[in-house]
Amino acid sequence: MRVRVVADSTADLDPATALSLGIEVVPIYVRWGRRVFRDGVDLSTAQFYRCLVRIRSHPATTQPGLEDFASVYAAHGDSAGIVSIHISSRISGTYNSARLGAEAVGQQVPVAVVDSGLNSCGLAMVVLAAARMAGEGGTLDEVAAEARRRALKRGWWGCSIP
């Protein structure tokens, strides 16, 4: 059993990379008018940019709900634990939904939820570092500590949230 890493889709991870490193991505929701899409599932990056050019209205996003996270966590109940790393809580409620999802699964699986303080490329760097450590056999505490350590060093890649 190994530690699993979960991230939200704002990390903008390439699906093949996420799959190869065993990273589970929980999509945020993108709303365009009355239509709602799951980022990276119902709406690819290429489709998003095509719509951005063609549709006059601007999209809005919303965080995944606690049930989105709870179902992902419960599906990995046989793991050594889950480190769930997310977009800055200063710009999204995703971290809070992940925390509530972890509370909902209770003792079923240990979950460490990490507020990266970042978005996009910065978040991706933290998630990739944690996934590599998990792949090398890191414990739940080690992988969570690595994610938190990397998040605190966010300035070196220039993607931090002011």
pLDDT digits (tens, 9 = 90+) for 72-124: 999 998 889 999 999 999 999 999 999 999 999 988 899 999 999 999 989 99
More confident residue, 33 or 65: 65
143 has a pLDDT exceeding 80: yes
Q: Can you tell me the distance from the alpha carbon of 155 to that of 56, in angstroms, rounded to the nearest whole number?
A: 35
Banded pLDDT at 161 (limits 50, 70, 90) = very low
Decide the pairing of beta strands 23-26 and 35-38.
unpaired
Banded pLDDT at 154 (limits 50, 70, 90) = low
pLDDT of 45 reads 84
pLDDT of 162 reads 39
Banded pLDDT at 157 (limits 50, 70, 90) = very low
Banded pLDDT at 134 (limits 50, 70, 90) = very high
